[in-house]
Amino acid sequence: MFNFKHEWIEKNVGLMLIATMVAISIGGLVEIAPLFFIKETVEKVDGVRPYTPLESRGRDIYVREGCYLCHSQMIRPFRDEALRYGHYSLSAESRYDHPFQWGSKRTGPDLARVGMKYSNDWHVQHLIDPKSMVPPSVMPRYPWLLTTALDYSDVAERLKALRQVGVPYSLTQGEYDRNVKDFGADVARTLHIPDAQKNLIAQAQAGNFDGDRSNVSEMDALVAYLQVLGTMVDFSKYDNDEFVKFR
Amino acid sequence: MSQQKPQTVQTTGHVWDEDLQEYNNPLPSWWLMGFYATVVMSLIYWMIYPAWPVGKHFTTGFGTVTYVNDKGVEKSPHWSTRAQLMKDMNEAEKLQKPYFDKVAATSFEQISKDPELTSFVNSAGKAIFSDNCAPCHQSGGQGKVGYFPNLADDDWLYGGSHDKIQETIAKGRNGYMPAFKEVLSSEQLDNLAHYVASLSGEKADAARVRAGDALFHGDAAACYYCHDNSGKGRQVIGSANLTDKIWLWADVPAQDSAEDKVAAIRQVIANGLNRGVMPAWETRLKPEQIKLLTAYVHALGGGAK
């Protein structure tokens, strides 16, 4: 008969290491793994779409500059946050975020609903010199964003990478047709990878985010991204009673 | 220190390195009871709150939260932070509702005459203004030359009456002026800049002012079309009053010499403006909040009839 002795583990570092990892990972698995299978935690809302090529590059810059170190993108369901930032964030709203930008470490304000709250002009000036717009701010200056041209040569490859992890950017006609069905033709066009560069330039020209149409700067991309944050879901169409069921 | 009682303690029975042994002291009973209590607590917790995933759903628990939704219907779903938020908001709304109702039902004129309402407008308005308006218009509404207009003076691009302020907040604004370097020569731009400087009493070259005057009121530049024959602007379209000493885009007062003042004006005429965007707040703020904010902004100092 198998005779287990605790001494085996205590006297064998390798075995102890494995046993410790197994014990710890049980906690992780129990807490995390079910979330991949529970369908009823992601709210069913219309309007959430993957980022356009320009917004996606803006998001890359957001991550590159480490904005997430001070800014979260998750409004929690608390009264003070609801009053200051707006409606609490839904899981559905970050379903295409890889990686997500949740968090509770806030040196600066939460940005989950900063989209369309301020003008492009404000964002540009604020990024160049935050103190000029908000005197008590401790945010660093990012003046190079305006003077650095956006490198969009690899934007198609970046979207392909996101497609690999499940973001519905389209490569084939079939995928494009599916996006037309899911998001409408206007959005589907912006998600088509073969047209990524063309779409990126077109959006930068039309949006004129940095106030200069002659080129596409990193500022264009970042402001385009900031201006779409939290604007995809029209909350006037939904009852909060519905969202309550998902937690 | 109390005297240690002599006691016999068992060892775990392991022996390392010939003589290294380990005592086997049992946990104190109070500690062990505490541990069992936490296990019992977790069972109670699982029963009250959402806890375990089951297939595609999860156990919601027996706990409930009672709140009143937007339509005034009372609901009692299983406990969640989201339902708890609705309840918290109910409590806050209940306290503020009498005041907001009164603000909504009272004319702007009457609000300013009612000390209690005025005090509510000032405190609640300051909070809403700080969260939403201050990043651009600054904490006192003093604005920022070159970027965002001053709300505390009596110069208004789109009108300073209660109705106009309310419209501006709710619907937003879009400032625009064409770039005149596309249609005018450098000489003509100079002349116009001198004329515009003269409108507000700045030093300007008399001959250039005459030439600029003709351009301003003529069809080549057609400035009068937006800024009016008088140069005082049209609030219907938000064109600036050029005859006063208040400047938003060209920072004229900050320039030392007359040439620099004219140059600042010329720069705006040449490049035009595709700025001056005020976001629309009706999607973000409730109508009663916008009304309250209107009263607050109007009272910052420059409100007009």
CB B282 within 8 A of CB B170: yes
CB contact under 8 A, B81 and A39: no
CB B229 within 8 A of CB B246: no
Q: Which residues pair with B54 in a beta bridge?
A: B57
Residue B3 pLDDT: 57
DSSP per position, B93-153: HHHHHHHHHHHHHS-HHHHHH-HHHHHHHHHHHHHHHHHHTHHHH-TTS--BTTTB--SSS
Residue A67 pLDDT: 96
DSSP per position, A46-69: S---PPPHHHHHHHHHHHHTTGGG
pLDDT band per the 50, 70, 90 thresholds, residue A29: confident
- State the Cα–Cα distance between residues B305 and B287, nearest whole angstrom: 21
- State the Cα–Cα distance between residues A228 and A55, nearest whole angstrom: 8
Neighbours of B253 (CB within 10 A): 12
Phi, psi of A170 (to 5 degrees): -105, 140
Residues of B in contact with A239 (CB under 8 A): 69-70
CB contact under 8 A, A240 and B69: yes
Neighbours of A28 (CB within 10 A): 9
Q: Which two tokens stand for residue B68?
A: 């009143």
Residues of B in contact with A241 (CB under 8 A): 69, 75, 77
CB contact under 8 A, B70 and A120: no
User: Residue A227's closest chain B neighbor by CA?
Assistant: B279
Give the one of B53, B85, B92 whose C-beta lies nearest to A34's C-beta.
B53
For residue B295, the SS3 value is: helix
Does A91 lie at the interface with B, CB-CB under 8 angstroms? no
Residue B125 pLDDT: 95
What are the C-alpha distances in Å from B21 to residues B4, B13, B14, B37, B250?
A: 21, 7, 6, 33, 85
User: Residue A11's closest chain B neighbor by CA?
Assistant: B16
Q: For B82-120, b where at least 16 C-beta lie within 10 A, e where not — what string?
A: bbbbbebbbeeeeeeeebbebbeebebeebbeeeebbeb
Q: Quick check: A201 pLDDT over 70?
A: yes
Task: Note if the bond before A99 is cis, omega within 30 degrees.
Answer: yes
Residue B9 pLDDT: 77
Does A10 lie at the interface with B, CB-CB under 8 angstroms? yes
Q: Which H helix or E strand runs over B75?
A: strand B74-75
Ranges of chain B with pLDDT below 70: 1-7
Neighbours of A119 (CB within 10 A): 23
Phi, psi of B52 (to 5 degrees): -95, 135
What is the least distance, in Å, from the CA of A196 to any CA of chain B? 27
pLDDT band per the 50, 70, 90 thresholds, residue A1: low
Q: Which of A45, A172, A29, A34 is nearest to A96 (CA)?
A: A45
pLDDT band per the 50, 70, 90 thresholds, residue A69: very high
Which residues from B are below 8 Å from A when comparing CB atoms?
A: 14, 50, 53, 55-58, 69-70, 75, 77, 80-86, 88-89, 92, 131-132, 134-136, 138, 144, 147-148, 274-279, 283-284
CA angle B132, B136, B138 (to 5 degrees): 90
- State the Cα–Cα distance between residues B292 and B298, nearest whole angstrom: 10
Q: Quick check: A110 pLDDT over 50?
A: yes
CB contact under 8 A, B82 and A84: no
CB contact under 8 A, B70 and A240: yes
Residue that is written with structure tokens 């009493």 in the block? B201
- Residue B188: CB partners within 8 Å, gap ≥ 6? B211, B215, B220, B221
Give A220-240 pLDDT, tens digit per residue: 999 999 999 999 999 989 988
Residue A39 pLDDT: 73
Q: Quick check: A105 pLDDT over 90?
A: no
- As a whole number of Å, the end-to-end CA separation of chain A is 48
Q: Which of A49, A60, A78 is nearest to A234 (CA)?
A: A49
CB contact under 8 A, B136 and A122: yes
Complex ipTM? 0.85
